[in-house]
Chain A
Amino acid sequence: MKNGEIIRNKRLKDNYFRVDFYSPELCKQAKAGQFAHVKICGIPNKVLRRPFSISDVSSEGLLTIIYKVVGAGTEALSSLKPGDTCDIMGPLGNPFSPSVKSDIPVIIAGGYGAAATYLIAKNSPSPGILLLGARTAKDLILTDEFKRLGFEVKVSTEDASEGYGGRVTGLMEELLADKNRRNMKFYACGPHGMLMAAGKLILQHGLDGELSLDHLMCCGVGACFACVVKVKADNSDGWRYARTCKEGPVFKASEVYYDLEPE
């Protein structure tokens, strides 16, 4: 098998797909929270790679990426067949810090943020809780996979089509109100607004948490300064732009600068 060769590329549900690449070197090095930067073969007239969170890695050298078809790149990826080969850079970025046995890992995911947090759940020494939010029921993915890891799964949908009706931060507030819960360590990945809300809640409760942030990315290695987000800084503004590809994508909730007005 060639490096970057597609072994499987199948629809999970609706617009969500799962692709497995043969990529043994990357699998050996990959840690939960890192990403792969993929040059999707066969997209005409496009020059940029696409960054994807690493959903899973196997000892057989299979790199799993779960993706939603949202544009030309993911559209092209979804039409690739086993045997097609993509050039993959990675693993890139800083990983989540692993939880320890005494921690209860709590994963806050929005939409396909569930894909970026699956590996941290799989590697956790103790099972934890997944709070997964989405716009509607068809955007809820990987719930069975998390349950198989022993995770307690609670879902929310903005249109109340499944689970709690509202945003995932609503579920988070319910959880935080339960005083019997101890040693919770939060891992969050999802849309920017959700992450900002989750980060603030984590900090308000004096808890430990990490957020996986990103933005439109080009180089993937810290050279182009496209994918920046605001983090706290010791300067007159109190913030600076940090490159999510190199300094992130995982940031401590306490490092992130929470703007009064969303960007």
Chain B
Amino acid sequence: MKIDLNVDLGKLKLKNPVMTASGTFGYGFEYAKFFPLEKLGAVVVKGIATFPSHGNPTPRVVEVESGMLNAIGLQGPGVEKFLHGEEYLPFLRKSNATIIVNIWGKTIDDYIEVASRLEAEKKGIHALEINISCPNIKEGGVAFGTDLKLAHKVVSEVRKVTKLPLITKLSPNVSSIKDFARTVEDAGSDMISLINTITGMAIDIETWKPKLANVTGGLSGPAIKPVALRMVYEASQAVKIPIIGMGGIMNADDAIEFLLAGASAIAVGTAIFTDPIAPLKVIEGIENYLIRKKLSSVSEITGKLIINRKKG
């Protein structure tokens, strides 16, 4: 029996539910020597702003138990180089992969401008992911993702300037994920993706200094999976738009948990650092799982979590 791995995310259709998490896969170019990018459900590129950006001082990463902290700080080439540089969009267009561009800014105008530029040259771009959740930059990023009014404003303003499908990437560093999910749905986001990293820190007890130059960073990897899963579940209860789940997915079993919790698609991030072909292994593992469960399509498991609450 042929297994149907296609997923329908409304305005965005994917050939399978496995994407790469922004920031962990560069601009695709670096991984094209490991496998054809078109095998993925989608490639989500590292955050793009209107301007080139140095990112944070070093050290930018530290490994912790079952995960890592990063404070890269959105180092990037800026939108013009992304649109025209050989190793960026021109390369991605040739790869035949489904491309999602993650965008960020320091001000609402920055978001509007980068979305407008990408809308104007959107050949080969299949969706935008609005990053309102990077915990590692002082201005913008998570400032928009932890304030309901600003989150609504940035999404609705970007919505006005592009017809591309919009994904909003939510921060887990909020007290009610449901409120943010509903807000960005109301503002016109076509999908939501979650979770971005959880703010954390690590300290060197010999020097008494933080292990990251930025002091704090974003925690990713297996350590955050239970939190991510809970948030995907809660968000899926709150909104009608499709959800892309991520946070510590290392293998197909992890991915299936997210699908059951309510995600229509998932993203692999930190696992790529362990194994560059981890996303392909997840696709294959999901397919094998569906065969074993005698199911014909991946959409049959989305949100199928069974909860029998005991009374009393």
Task: List A residues at the B interface (Cβ < 8 Å).
Answer: 39, 45-49, 87, 89, 215-219, 221-226, 228-229, 235, 237, 240-241, 246, 263
Contacts and interface: CB of A to CB of B under 8 A. Distances in A.
Interface stretch (B53-61, B107-115, B123-131, B282-290): B53-61
A45 B276 contact: no
A47 B270 contact: yes
Given A216-B59, A224-B23, A228-B58, 16 more contacts: A39-B274, A39-B275, A46-B66, A47-B66, A47-B68, A216-B61, A218-B70, A219-B272, A222-B26, A224-B61, A225-B72, A226-B60, A228-B60, A228-B75, A237-B54, A263-B213
Chain B at the A interface: SS class: loop
A26 B1 CA distance: 40
Contacts of A49: 273-274
Interface of B: 23-26, 30-31, 46, 52, 54-55, 57-63, 65-68, 70, 72, 75, 213, 221-222, 250, 270-276
A229 B60 CA distance: 11
Contacts of B52: 235
16 contacts: A46-B63, A47-B67, A47-B270, A48-B63, A216-B61, A224-B273, A225-B55, A226-B72, A228-B55, A228-B58, A228-B60, A240-B54, A241-B55, A263-B57, A263-B58, A263-B213
A216 B211 CA distance: 11
Chain A at the B interface: SS class: loop
CB-based closest 5 A-B pairs: A223-B26, A226-B61, A223-B30, A222-B30, A218-B273
B30 to A, nearest CB: 4
Contacts of A39: 274-275
A215 B222 contact: no
A218 B61 contact: yes
Contacts of B70: 218, 224, 226
B261 to A, nearest CB: 22
A215 B273 CA distance: 16
A218 B64 CA distance: 13
A225 B275 contact: no
Given A225-B72, A225-B75, A228-B58, A47 B63 contact: yes
Given A39-B274, A215-B59, A224 B24 contact: yes
A217 B273 CA distance: 10
B131 to A, nearest CB: 15
A76 to B, nearest CB: 13
B273 A47 contact: yes
A45 B66 CA distance: 5
B106 to A, nearest CB: 17
B27 to A, nearest CB: 8
Contacts of B63: 46-48
Q: Which of A222, A226, A246 has the most CB of B within 10 A?
A: A226
Contacts of A221: 26, 30-31, 276
A48 B61 CA distance: 11
A135 to B, nearest CB: 16
A219 B273 contact: yes
Given A221-B30, A223-B25, A225-B55, A47 B222 contact: yes
Contacts of B61: 216-218, 224, 226
Nearest to B272: A219
Contacts of A240: 54
